[in-house]
A and B are shown apart, each in its own frame.
Chain A
Amino acid sequence: MTTIKNVVLVHGAFVDGSGWQGVYDELATDGFRVRMVQNPTLSLDGDVAATRQVLDALDGPAVLVGHSYGGAVISEAGTHPNVAALVYIAAFAPDKGESVGTLIADPPPGAPVPPILPPRDGFLYLDRDKFHGAFAADLPAQLAAFMADTQVPWGVDALAGVVNEPAWRHRPSWYLVATEDRMIPPPVQRVMAERAGSFVVEAIGSHAVHVSQPAAVADLIRQAAA
């Protein structure tokens, strides 16, 4: 098997692609060509289209990586012929007919409730005051505050977007479970990973594990590319 040289990173809700910097640095040092999708998170369809556009432009196979809601995007976009492997980072991995909305509708008892505020003009926001604890508890307070204040509004259509043909049924997948995640409960992550038949690695980290533990994320991507 030839080693894959392309990596495409898809960010999740409330953030943009800049959160990938640590992962990007690790992989670029190793000689990977890393592309980030700046998906607008207005609708699942729109984000899938943005991802396919990046995939179209590649000269060879890629590892397609999604964080959080980005997992739904790669599950739909990952059937693209240039995708050789999928990597989920504390991410949703919906099955056929599921959306992120249906996956979070029935949280396990006792799981922390993400501080998502009621929709405003079709957009969702995280409570700024609870952002640090809920989304990025293992990051310095200053960085968490910056992330809270630069958060990208999440379109309700993105939340409702249904996956038609989950790519993890057709591609090998890897999954990084963040054990201290207070946005997507770790047991839910494990169940989705198991359902997808993913190779699982765990890391002690918050939902922002791609920012706090770039080395762990990069290790898993390297493995998927091997």
Chain B
Amino acid sequence: MVPITDPLSFAEVLRRHRHAARLTLEQLSEASGVSARSLSNMERGRSRGPQHRTVTAIADALALDESFREQLVELARDGRLRDHWTRPAGLCALPRSVGDFTGRAAELAWTNDLVHADNSPGTAGVGLLTGSAGLGKTTFAVRAAHALRTDFPDGVFFLDLFGMSPHPVAAGEALALLLRALGVADHEVPNDVPDRASLYRSLLEGKRVLVVLDNAASEEQIRPLLPSGGHGRVLITSRRLLAGLEGVRRLSLGPLPVAEATELLTGILGDRSASDGEPALTQLAQLCGGLPLALRIIGNRLVSRPGWSAAELVARLANEERRLEQLSAGDLKIANAFGMSYEQLAASARRVFRRLALVPGRDFDAALAAVAGGISVEDAWDALDELVDLGLLQDGASGRYRFHDLVRLFARDRFREEDTSAERDALSGRMTSWLLRMATTAGRWFEPAYGRPSRPDADLAELSSPEQADHWLRVNVDNWLGALRHAASSGLHSAVLDCAESMYWFSDRWMHVPYWQEVFTFGAEAAAALGDPARQATQMNLLAWAHLVPRDDPETALRYTARAIDLATRSGATTQIASAHHHAGGALRRLGRLDEAIAAETQAAQIHKANGDMDRYCHCLGSLGTCLLDAGDHTKALEQYLDVLALMNDDRSGITPSVAAFNRPIVLARIGECLGLLGYLAEAITKLTEAIGLMEQAQLPVPQARSLETLAALLADEGRTGESRHAYARAAEVYEAIDDAEASSRCRDLAAASPQPPKAG
């Protein structure tokens, strides 16, 4: 056989191996148990990342030696990951339905009735699927939603509310996610939960959308997410009846009847079901209590460990049942099914599995699994593949894995049972420390003073670009936040404060999320515990920012700036005093207290200048200009901006060149705005045009869209209709690119308007 050394695709390698073995697709199919059609799809690159179990079956059939086998397995894994990365991660996208979904015809008819029923008063087209864990509520809801797709041309959305986790998704957060999915731009999402809820309701009323709210925790969580009539429909799953909700039709989901349960099991087993025989499979289905989760785990257990027959498993399970008959029926059947798979694992995979119960967040990747198991990432991949094959873990998007709630409980049980309390504490400490150091290192990527962290700890996962650091922080937020909570409650002040401080810059990139108040509160408490008023002042300023910028709560922001000024004054931290004045200026401006705002920004600018911190000085001068613009003093505002521009253009001013480059187009645009307001239209158009060109180069779409819109209005005022239309059209494009649908359609309308466009502004 020709050695295969080039970097080849899975498809190519598979085809070469099959040819080398002189097998036709049909012959390989027969030998491996994988259908000829699936094999053909793999060889044509249509299925780039087949499941681990499939690949090992093919490798067995080809009798590959160890190194070829590993190569094939790794290529498939890469393919699976690449599929995850390239798959468009639609917001609140409905997951795929399982291919071997079985039964539930009457339930599907019920959901069909529900969404088509007249929207009579008291029934707002909301259905609740309830029942205990493992009944397949989610699987069913996903299947039902797929079946109903054509009835909802405006979209079918799916949101997991994590009702059984210690931190279910809060109603406000859920609303923000759904609003985003419904096409509302980040910055258009209202701050208050009631405002979000009413916007959401008005959208649902007019659209034919179906929203699946999976795993709901409580009435409080769900109530704001329900429609108030109109075309939208909602399907909820919950382990609870949520008796406090009115106008909801409830269906109690039962276990699968024996015939359907046996059919599901037979489907999972595929070809080998014939050799096991129907009587054994029927018994097995009964021992699983007709619970789809138990059936899947038992089925996967039989498929991936062909050594045991169904009849043997029946005997084992029946025996377990007698031994543990004091447990309630459903829990017992499930725990037994898990147990059968768990004891088949190698000791190391078993250890990873049970220790993963300690992961604070909702999902995890191989790097965190490696920390949990105390093994290499490569070994963690193998363990995760095995756990997914057995159905003990689910693999989600982008190489991330998660437990079913019940499996996590089982893992936690095993963890408590099999690891000593000292081992458990040690692992908890290691995981907390690792997560915090990862988060801190990732956060520092965005800190100008740090840049790329030069020597991160050797045990940390590699983050080699700001994009990777950004991605890590976002997808792992509930993990590092969980670690931060744990560290805060354990008094690990130094690590907590380091982590909170490292988020200084990153928080600005991801401002519309609800975490920052908690993060910086932990930071402030840690600084207080360490007796460090200067660092505490920094956290207070960050808290002021969190309330001012993303939350639009200037009153609260002012309370934090007052605390920050007090703390910073006590410790002589002048930069923080200035920052506090600057934030206070922003809050006062928001409150319309413009004289005070101007005074605060002036004070901030003076302190920064005295400190020689020209970057911040410039920034405060810009804010001062904004206050003056608000106050209607266009002349003074223009002077202010011209001063800033002169500073930026002066090489010896002490401003960091990158900061100057970043801000120059924004200041130029402001100058253009002022000139326009003062009636110097031609000059204003020149400045704005220059600014827009620079923004295009620097890729600053947010100010660019706004400047284009201003420019278009000025051009219209000058009677340059054609150019104005063109600028509006371009503004609409840029707004659309930044997901601001409302502004985009406004500009599109203006672009299409009559030869005499209305005056803007």
Interface residues of chain A, those whose CB is within 8 Å of chain B, are 25-26, 29, 138, 140, 176, 179-180, 199-205, 212-213, 215-216, 219-220, 223, 226
Contact = CB atoms under 8 A, between A and B. Distances in A.
Interface string B98-129: 00000000110010000000000000000000
Interface centre among A26, A202, A215 (most CB of B within 10 A): A215
A212 B249 CA distance: 21
A118 B337 CA distance: 50
Contact of B249 (A202, A213, A216): A202
17 contacts: A140-B258, A179-B110, A201-B241, A202-B249, A203-B251, A204-B106, A204-B110, A204-B251, A204-B253, A213-B254, A215-B132, A215-B330, A219-B130, A219-B131, A219-B241, A220-B241, A223-B243
B376 interface: no
B251 A202 contact: yes
A201 B257 contact: no
A202 B254 contact: no
Nearest to A214: B329
Interface residues of B, number: 20
Nearest to B246: A199
A52 to B, nearest CB: 28
B110 A213 contact: no
Contacts of B253: 204
B635 interface: no
B41 interface: no
A143 to B, nearest CB: 11
Interface of B: 106-107, 110, 130-132, 241, 243, 249-255, 257-258, 328-330
A100 B240 CA distance: 33
Contacts of A220: 241, 252
A202 B250 contact: yes
Chief secondary structure at chain A's binding surface: mixed
Nearest to B258: A140
B216 to A, nearest CB: 15
A223 B242 CA distance: 9
A185 to B, nearest CB: 15
B508 to A, nearest CB: 47
A199 B245 CA distance: 10
Contacts of A201: 130, 241, 250-252
Contacts of B250: 200-202
A56 B491 CA distance: 58
A182 B91 CA distance: 44
Nearest to B243: A223
A26 B252 contact: no
Nearest to B114: A202
Nearest to A213: B254
A199 B241 CA distance: 10
A131 to B, nearest CB: 18
Given A25-B329, A201-B241, A216 B252 contact: yes
Contacts of A180: 106
Contacts of A140: 258
Given A26-B328, A223-B243, A203 B252 contact: yes
Given A203-B254, A215-B252, 15 more contacts: A26-B328, A29-B328, A180-B106, A201-B130, A202-B250, A203-B251, A204-B106, A215-B131, A215-B132, A215-B254, A215-B330, A216-B252, A219-B130, A219-B252, A226-B243
Nearest to A29: B328
B328 to A, nearest CB: 5
Nearest to A209: B254
A213 B107 CA distance: 14
A176 B131 CA distance: 14
Contacts of A199: 243
A29 B324 CA distance: 13
A202 B328 contact: no
Contacts of A226: 243
A179 B106 contact: yes
Contacts of B110: 179, 202, 204
A204 B107 contact: yes
A127 to B, nearest CB: 24
Contacts of B243: 199, 223, 226
A197 B653 CA distance: 77
A220 B130 CA distance: 11
A203 B131 CA distance: 10
A94 to B, nearest CB: 24
A223 B328 contact: no
B254 A205 contact: yes
Given A179-B106, A223-B241, A216 B254 contact: yes
Nearest 4 interchain pairs by C-beta: A216-B252, A204-B106, A203-B252, A201-B250
A200 B127 CA distance: 12
Contacts of A216: 131, 252, 254
A176 B258 contact: no
Nearest to B286: A140
A180 B105 CA distance: 12
Task: Identify the interface centre among B106, B130, B250, B252: most chain A CB within 10 Å of its CB.
Answer: B252
Contact of A212 (B131, B132, B254, B330): B254
Contacts of A204: 106-107, 110, 251, 253-254
Contacts of A29: 328
A223 B255 CA distance: 20
A150 to B, nearest CB: 22
A202 B254 CA distance: 11
A148 to B, nearest CB: 19
Contacts of B330: 215
